[in-house]
Amino acid sequence: MSKEDHLMVVPLDDLVGDTREFFQTCWAKEPAVFDSNANLSALISEAEIWDELDCGLLSRPYFTVFNEGVRSAIQSITVPRVVAGHRLTGFANVAQVKAEFEQGGTFKLSQAEHWHKATRNLLKGLEGSFDGNLEAFVFLSPPGKTAMQAHTDGAHVLVLQIAGEKDWVVGRLTKTSHSDSTLHEGTIDPNNRLEFTLRAGQVLYMPHGCPHFATSRTANSIHLAITIEEPTAIDLANTILANFMSTDAFAALEQSHHLLPMVDKIERVSVDLQRFLTGLDLENIVHRPSN
């Protein structure tokens, strides 16, 4: 493995400190800020971001622009190109993206692990610490701007402040917190929120369901948001059912069910499923994909 392949392989404890304490006291409970031991500034630079735009290969849905909660029209920030004789749409309109950034827009790069090696290596080094799917999003914001209104994400989030500073408002979890990715209705309760400045080299953790927004300070800000999306209840139910349907007991029932009255068929499914669930290895189900 080359030296470049080791780039930004960072264990979770370099981001949040003692991982056991992190999962016991913060995970799915409380937002928290940590001083990272990793060199986050080496992850990605503003020059790299503009180089990625200038190379001409960046296309939708890997980028967008926000300005004070308003997403730029796709038609204005994209252009078509002819590639191998085919007219393709969705390529970045470089001049327009830069113009909108100069006018206060935040340049967002989505799923950076697909195209940025250091980010891909970072996520590979972290994925073993979580039971969920990790994705990365890079935000380059000009000074004094709030890119998005208060909102909740459909996942846990680790925010790595790469450059500059951002003022954050993060609501704590309440009995009414939900798991949807949507705009937050009304203001974030002043009596049940955290307000702080995230500086370069710091990491913010937000549990799934915390409303939040952020405003860059006096210089351009870069932060990388890593979303950790855990399986939903439906995902788990489907996985368990798929594993049950791969058993010999279910295969036998599938072959003979037409010989049984409906009441007997329901009872057989119920008995076999209960027997399967009784002997279910929950840890194995979480880590083994369904057939």
Q: What percentage of residues in the chain have a pLDDT greater than 90?
A: 69
Rounded Cα gap, residues 30 and 196, in angstroms: 15
Q: Compute the distance between CA of residue 169 and CA of residue 192 in angstroms, rounded to an integer.
A: 10
Tokens of 172: 């704590």
Query: Residue 220 burial (CB < 10 Å; 0-12/13-18/19+)?
Result: middle
pTM: 0.84
- At residue 279, the pLDDT reads 83
- Which residue type occupies 174? T
CA 247 to chain centre: 34
Q: What is the CATH number of domain 4-229?
A: 2.60.120.650
Tokens of 181: 């990715």
Residues 237 and 240: their CA atoms lie apart, in Å, by 5
User: What is the tens place of the pLDDT at every residue in 240-278?
Assistant: 888 889 899 899 988 988 888 999 999 999 999 998 888
Tell me the residue type at 162: I
Question: What are the sequence ranges of the domains in the chain?
Answer: 4-229, 233-287
Q: What is the DSSP letter of 56?
A: S
